[in-house]
Amino acid sequence: MKLARKSKKFLPHRLAKKIDLLSREFSSRLSYPRICDSKHNEALLLHGHLDLWVKEANNLPNMDLFHCKLKDKVGDVARKLPGKISSRIEEKMSEKTQVTPMSQSYYPYTRVDKVPLYHGGLGASPDYHGVPGTYFPLRRGGKVTLYQDAHVHDGSLPDLKLDNDVPYMHGSCWADIFDGMKKARHLIYIAGWSVYHKVRLVGDDNNETESILGDFLKTKSEEGVRVVLLVWDDFTSQTILGHTHEGKMKTHDEETRKFFKHSSVQLLLCPRHAGKGRSWLKKQEARKIYTHHQKTVIVDADAGHGKRKITAFVGGLDLAMGRYDTPKHPIFTMLQTVHKDDFHNLTFEGPTVGCPREPWHDLHCQIDGPAAYDILTNFEERWQKASELHALQKLKMVISGKDGPMRIERPPEIMGMADAPCLSEDDTEAWHVQ
């Protein structure tokens, strides 16, 4: 972008004079680089976008009458111009100009070697206390299992070596989640952008009919496990007079809510709310545009010696339609088998016979140790915020047994964070998690 002085042929004399003075003052205050052309005319170079507003103007010509003649002249000039054009805009400079320092518009960038926090490495130093100013502190001595995609067949990913030539074992995400939920005795908490009751967690095993999520969760809740689901409420999906209208995002939230309605599984559809003090318009905007995007599965697991601990799965994979995939990402070959009832591709409207499915590549992890209890706290506080009820409504939910997440202190065999098993600093499997 170039700002250069030029005659103001089409502006009234007084306005042109004011703009000229202001633009000179504006240019003198900026420390941006300047160049001179072959005729020694000074030009100011700016990088980025420049938004201009005319706050006030007097005695402007009637451009509605002028534009026809100007269009003819511009058309003649345009036919003579070369392919590259430099636009000179100084004559259109507004009377009031504001320059915002970059430090106020963007997060300042600082090289990592200039940040004392990371001088000992990321978590390597004993003095490392994690990222400051966050809701949860750094938790030491945890264990993290990494996943890619919902399912990984044996031998489908490259062999990797860790320290001391220890082979890295690739996990299978949904199989581990299903196994964790099967072994849960007290609680299964699930949060998601979408949670679909028809999802099959173990897609390659045709005998695993129990791996259909909705039926499985109903069975676990009937066994006495507290099953609680916190799902984003898509504004575009509604149930009106008993008829469910699928939303634009195809999250199946209303369909899943109806499936669990008369069961002991607790499901709360949670819309996105604007902050307190926001205008009605802002609240509607948040409700219709923004979502909840956490994907969490929390279960109690065996901790040995008759005790239970909390373990959590977090990351990018919803328990939703179209998420089951492998590192090979087939788009046609499994349409009549694994993906027969799991076709997902929002690109196509109408009949989808013969269309490729949308491949899904994402990351996930399992967290054991103290940080898993922070993930539990996050879920509990989100539920409490989303289910703010009046006293009578709360009493009704307590009587019906649908009062949300339990207090983990109630089952004596569930360890609290202070007693949860931790790995030592010297253990090669130990992670610091925040």
Do 82 and 152 lie in one domain? The reply is: no
Please tell me whether residues 244 and 303 are part of one structural domain.
yes
Domain end: 79, 105, 131, which one? 105
Asked whether 250 and 321 are in contact (CB, 8 A), the reply is yes
Q: Indicate if 153 and 72 belong to the same structural domain.
A: no
The one-letter amino acid code at 85 reads I
Q: Reduce the DSSP state of residue 323 to 3 states and report it.
A: coil
CA dihedral 359, 365, 366, 367 (to 10 degrees): -160
Residue with tokens 């205050």: 29
Range of the domain at 172: 139-433
- Statement to judge: residues 57 and 206 lie in one domain: no
* Residue 413 pLDDT: 93
Is 60 found in the same domain as 186? no
* β-pair partners for 431: 142
Contact 18, 59 (CB under 8 A): no
Q: Does residue 115 lie within any of the structural domains?
A: no
Question: In terms of domains, do 168 and 67 share one?
Answer: no
Is residue 320 assigned to a domain?
A: yes
Check if the beta carbon of residue 302 is closer than 8 Å to that of residue 324. no
Q: Among the three residues 57, 89, 105, which one is the final residue of a domain in this structure?
A: 105
* Cα diameter, the chain: 91
Grade residue 342 by pLDDT with cuts at 50, 70 and 90.
Answer: confident
- Which pLDDT does position 31 carry in this prediction? 43
Answer yes or no: do 33 and 154 share one domain. Answer: no
State pLDDT tens for residues 115-152.
777 776 666 667 778 888 889 999 999 999 999 999 99
Overall number of domains in the chain: 2
Q: Are residues 74 and 161 in the same domain?
A: no
Chain mean position to CA 367: 19
Q: Which range, 9-18, 28-37, 73-82, 91-100, has the best average confidence (pLDDT)? A: 91-100
Shared-domain flag, residues 212 and 308: yes
Q: Based on the domain organization, do 99 and 146 belong to the same domain?
A: no
The answer to whether position 111 is within a domain reads: no
Are 101 and 148 in a shared domain?
no
Long-range contacts of residues 8-13, Cβ cutoff 8 Å, at least 24 apart: 8/91, 10/61, 10/66, 11/60, 11/91, 12/58, 12/59, 12/60, 12/61
* Gyration radius (Cα) of the chain, Å: 31
CATH of the domain at 146: 3.30.870.10
Q: Give the pTM.
A: 0.72
Break the chain down into helix, strand, coil percent, rounded to 5: 30, 20, 55
As a whole number of angstroms, the distance between CA 344 and CA 329 comes to 13
Q: Is 426 helix (H, G, I), strand (E, B) or coil?
A: coil
